Structure 1
Amino acid sequence: MYKAILPITAAISLAALATPAAFAEEKDYISTISIQGVGDVSAVPDMATVTSGVATDGETARDALTANSEAMAALIDVLKSSGVEDKDIQTSGFSVHPNYVHTDKRDANGYRMPPKIIGYRVSNNVTVAIRDLDSLGGVLDAAVTVGANTINGVNFGVSDTDELMKQARQNAMKDAIEKAELYTSAAGVDLGNIMNISENQSYSPAPMMKMGARMEMADAAMAVPVEAGEMTYSVTVNVQWEIDQAE
């Protein structure tokens, strides 16, 4: 009988010894609350970037390159004469590749004949920063007039976003604090010290712009109407607090 009871007695003793440690761990546990705050700031763009260039064909790669170089020189000249500075013009793409013609003809074995090279195409593109939006429509018109036959989109932006991002961060933190205070007040507890803060950033263009800015731009460049819209800069902040609970 004594041997059968011994293991049970040992297990009870071990459990008793472990109890103070368990209580200590429970006492050291920190309650927390994690909240996500969002701050948005909108601004009218003051600049745009445009990728434009020339694609030319020729019987030989040399012919295509010569024609392309002449056209690109004219394009860069007209960009500079339109007020674009040298530092705002950057080559962003250059390629030379053959042009093929395909045929349904087959050889003596019945296999389709390979495509035949009939010439070459040279493409050269520059990315341009336009810092005077009133001139944007005119610059686009001048570029096409002088020979640009590729324009790969117009992207609007704000040249200096430092103050905008500061305001967005303040708005995001204010939003997080208001939410945290709402939850803790409803739960009957108080916010403690901040334990962690992290953020994410993003921006997106809005489809609309103010009527005044739209009319001014239309008057300045009737040939190529453009819409600058608004940029929305957003900061998402994740904040974790300790919770002070009434004892």
Structure 2
Amino acid sequence: MRLSTRRSLVAACAIAIALGAGAARADDPRRIATIDMVGQASVSAAPDMAMVQSGVVSDAETAGEAMTANTAAMSAVVARIKDAGIEGRDIQTSGFSVSPRYRRLKDTEPGDYRSEIIGYRVSNNVSVRVRDLANLGALLDAMVRDGANQVGGISFIVSDADSLKDEARKAAMADAMRKAKLFAEAAGVKLGRVLSINEQDFGGPRPQMMMARAEMAADGAPAPIEAGETSLQVRVNVTWELDQ
């Protein structure tokens, strides 16, 4: 091969490589002008179900005595829950523990303390799904009257939350587009193709909690419970390419 031909081939290859590298740089997302925008929207809905955390705590000198007392009381509570119309599929044990109870005693040495076991505690808790909110107050009253001495909280639930959030998703996307167009117009550019859409998870509606104990039913009236409304929020992060 002649030297001139070889030089021509080398030059042609160099040009091809340079053009390819230039095209790659042009398509590199890191070199594309973009705009990121967050869109938000929310819808409100009345809860139609609730989750109740309830249980029995029993103390006694021995673990066996505490277990016997707790089993009797918890059996009565579960029976009352079922009598109130709650199906077995909606009752689930959510916690069970047996633990010693301590008393701290002061030793003869100043500042030194020691502990000794003075008894045992058994705790048994259940999660109850209430599908008819109209009966929630009466159910709480019945559970407490039949031995439940701990009601840890109530979480109100919107059963069709996902379908309701679809409307909020559309509104959140529209909100992001509105703001992106506003900024692009102010900057003298146009929105191009959408590069990414990401929904930021809020973890569902925040539960409305309450605390209650045995004295809540002392006056004989069902506990007043107000479900109110739950806000379902959606936030999306959208990235557009900008056209000059």
Per the normalisation by structure 2, the TM-score is 0.77
Check conservation: 1:137, 1:222, Cα contact below 8 A: no
CA contact (8 A) 2:96 2:123 kept: yes
Q: 2: CA distance between counterparts of 1:27 and 1:114?
A: 72
CA shift, 1:103, in A, is 2.9
For structure 1, the 5+ residue unaligned runs are 1-16, 208-220
Report the CA distance between 1:149 and its aligned residue. Answer: 0.4
Shift of 1:161: 1.4
SS in 2 for 1:136: helix
Query: Contact (CA 8 Å) 1:206, 1:232: kept in 2 or not?
Result: no
> Which residue of structure 2 aligns with residue 231 of structure 1?
230
Which residue matches 2:91?
89
Deviation at 1:26, TM superposition (A): 11
Partners of 1:206 and 1:229 within 8 A in 2: no
Write out aligned runs for 1:1-247 (5 A): 24=22, 28=26, 29-104=31-106, 106=108, 114-202=114-202, 203-205=204-206, 222-245=221-244
SS in 1 for 2:105: coil
Deviations 1:94-123 (A, max 9, x none): 1111223333353xx889674332321111
What per-residue deviation string (whole Å, max 9, x for no partner) do you get for residues 3-23 of structure 1?
Answer: xxxxxxxxxxxxxx9xx88x9
Query: Do the aligned partners of 2:156 and 2:207 also contact (CA within 8 Å) in 1?
Result: no
Alpha carbons 1:206, 1:230 under 8 Å: kept: no
Q: CA contact under 8 A between 2:56 and 2:150: conserved in structure 1? A: yes
Length-normalised TM-score, structure 1: 0.76
Residues 1:131 and 1:206: Cα distance change in structure 2 (over 3 Å): closer
* Structure 2 match to 1:5: none
Partner of 2:214: none
CA distance in 2, matches of 1:201, 1:129: 24
1:24 & 1:114 partners in 2: Cα distance?
A: 77
Distance in structure 1 (CA, Å) of the matches to 2:207 and 2:116? 48
Q: Partners in 1 of 2:143 and 2:159 — Cα distance?
A: 23
Name segments (4+ residues, structure 1) moved above 6 Å.
Answer: none
The 1:59/1:225 distance shift into structure 2, 3 A limit, reads same
User: What's 1:217 paired with?
Assistant: none
C-alpha contact 1:79 1:143 (8 A) present in aligned 2? yes
For the Cα contact (< 8 Å) 1:55–1:68, is it kept in 2?
yes
Contact 1:59 1:120 in 2 (8 A): yes
Q: Give me the identity figure in percent.
A: 47
